Structure 1
């Protein structure tokens, strides 16, 4: 099951950090459901962000439009409150104040995380930059954008993180990475206390083992032949495309009873089971269930294909 055409026709969404990866996948699926999608990031066809990759927000916007929606690329540095204020003003002016879905997905800090080092050996400047890029951006965006949803008395906020409650109950291998991802999960929960009186629903949402552009490139494969990488990393067999979490966002946004999920920590696989959607290959990866057994449980020889 793919995204249902036009089930979000007329809706307006904002996906931050939509240049690549999960952000791009979520933006494209929102477009496939008929939404107008503002996509933000720092890499444009004229300049690159410190991440240094070639994907651009203009590319994402074109993919949104090709999928059936309307993609609008806005260069925005979410560490800069002034930039975010201009973004809010533009959405207000162009959409008559309407915003239905906020997908808060900024990160862009992989290059500053030093794995397997205790806090006191980690470069402090790098760690604080990761906190600023990965967490402060979410808070700045929420502070500035939430009034658009609150004024309308409806809408959905998805705080995109890495790891569900099972993963984030454990140390994530770097103090700075751990703080960011657990804090974003907490944002999805605590926001409900402030937003529910205004008719707005908030959740935190994670993909599973994501086949992002960088992940595929690092393994020397493409989406077409990604299974070739399973020989070197058997657990890669449970991986999923960025479109899978995109379909999770669409399912939430189109659900008239979305309040059932308010404040919860959710995953793409969990929502796929509930709503019945699949990844683009027709499979339904259950990454959390696989890792619960293979990594944290007693089924070390679990076969990823049994969890698809």
Structure 2
């Protein structure tokens, strides 16, 4: 298992789901993990799912890291700016930024409008706005504030959590366009940050057993699925690699990275990497 003792990480959108799992994976490696989100108390989430930033922080600490919960709306630049000021004041560094926060698909598993859409022209216009404002732009803004910290220490890793929808035509116009933008953003940032030894990648999870997926488990084949914490273990392994710059600018599939670094999921299995056609 990777060792990240003394490492400082920020995982955005980590009250639950993939973000929470990433925080846990970094925490069990010994990192100090800042956890952002809007849910500070049970029952107050924008979705009908469990999880708060404080619960995630407590779980990180139980696993051997140090979890620090910070309530932050990543569509509010002032709140994001203050978040990074706090990290700099308290830690003096930032080694890992995981851009996971996303918007626009809060009700995907609630059986509401998604099941009635027959084309992009029937989807609410807010889908596009939320995917780019609370997704792509939120990732850009966090990276803008993270970059100076990483440049100053001449090391760092920025990970955009993306998905195969960026390379497919049948996963929704707003979602596919936003994920493709995330991938290009990572590649362009990697180009500009390479001289400072800061790596930037896009990372594709497979089918992840999040709270939302498990709520609708009857609709999924979970035989090759991944725990949320598996994604965190993959990022921890990448962050601990002194030669990680060789991956900078690339789109990486989490399960393929796991094979490279011999990462095993929490159930003792290693998920098989899926292809674009399978996703």
Q: TM-score normalised to the size of structure 1?
A: 0.83
State the distance in 1 between where 2:127 and 2:202 align.
Answer: 25
Partner of 1:110: helix, strand, or coil?
Answer: coil
**Given that residues 208 and 287 in structure 1 are in contact (C-alpha distance below 8 angstroms), is that contact kept between their aligned partners in structure 2?**
yes
State the distance in 1 between where 2:191 and 2:260 align.
Answer: 25
Partner of 2:13: helix, strand, or coil?
Answer: coil
State the distance in 2 between where 1:44 and 1:172 align.
Answer: 35
Partner of 1:171: helix, strand, or coil?
Answer: coil
Give aligned pairs, total. 273
Asked if residue 103 in structure 1 is aligned to residue 101 in structure 2, the reply is: no
State the distance in 1 between where 2:122 and 2:215 align.
Answer: 29
Query: Which consecutive segments of 4 or more residues in structure 1 shift more than 4 A?
Result: 112-116
Residue in structure 1 matched with residue 12 of structure 2 by the alignment: 16
> Deviation string for 1:179-224 (max 9, x for gaps)?
11111122221111111121101111111011001111222xxxxx
Asked if residue 257 in structure 1 is aligned to residue 243 in structure 2, the reply is: yes
Q: Per the alignment, do residues 37 and 262 of structure 1 end up closer, same or farther by CA in structure 2, a change over 3 Å counting?
A: same
Q: Per the alignment, do residues 122 and 46 of structure 1 end up closer, same or farther by CA in structure 2, a change over 3 Å counting?
A: closer
State the distance in 1 between where 2:243 and 2:170 align.
Answer: 33
Partner of 2:184: helix, strand, or coil?
Answer: helix
Q: How does 1:141-152 map to 2 (within 5 A)?
A: 141-152=142-153
State the distance in 1 between where 2:247 and 2:178 align.
Answer: 22
Asked if residue 89 in structure 1 is aligned to residue 90 in structure 2, the reply is: no
Asked if residue 125 in structure 1 is aligned to residue 91 in structure 2, the reply is: no
Residue in structure 1 matched with residue 155 of structure 2 by the alignment: 154
User: For the pair shown, which has the larger CA radius of gyration, 1 or 2?
Assistant: 1
State the distance in 1 between where 2:170 and 2:97 align.
Answer: 26
**Given that residues 190 and 248 in structure 2 are in contact (C-alpha distance below 8 angstroms), is that contact kept between their aligned partners in structure 1?**
yes
Residue in structure 1 matched with residue 111 of structure 2 by the alignment: none
How much does 1:44 deviate?
0.6
| Consecutive unaligned residues in structure 1, runs of 5 or more | 220-228, 297-308
Residue in structure 1 matched with residue 169 of structure 2 by the alignment: 171
How much does 1:160 deviate?
0.7
**Given that residues 103 and 130 in structure 2 are in contact (C-alpha distance below 8 angstroms), is that contact kept between their aligned partners in structure 1?**
no
> Deviation string for 1:1-39 (max 9, x for gaps)?
xx34xx111110011111111111111111111110000
Partner of 1:288: helix, strand, or coil?
Answer: coil
**Given that residues 36 and 53 in structure 2 are in contact (C-alpha distance below 8 angstroms), is that contact kept between their aligned partners in structure 1?**
yes
**Given that residues 8 and 96 in structure 2 are in contact (C-alpha distance below 8 angstroms), is that contact kept between their aligned partners in structure 1?**
yes
Asked if residue 236 in structure 1 is aligned to residue 222 in structure 2, the reply is: yes
How much does 1:46 deviate?
7.1
Asked if residue 67 in structure 1 is aligned to residue 63 in structure 2, the reply is: yes
State the distance in 2 between where 1:34 and 1:111 align.
Answer: 31
**Given that residues 239 and 287 in structure 1 are in contact (C-alpha distance below 8 angstroms), is that contact kept between their aligned partners in structure 2?**
no
Moved more, 126-135 or 75-84: 126-135
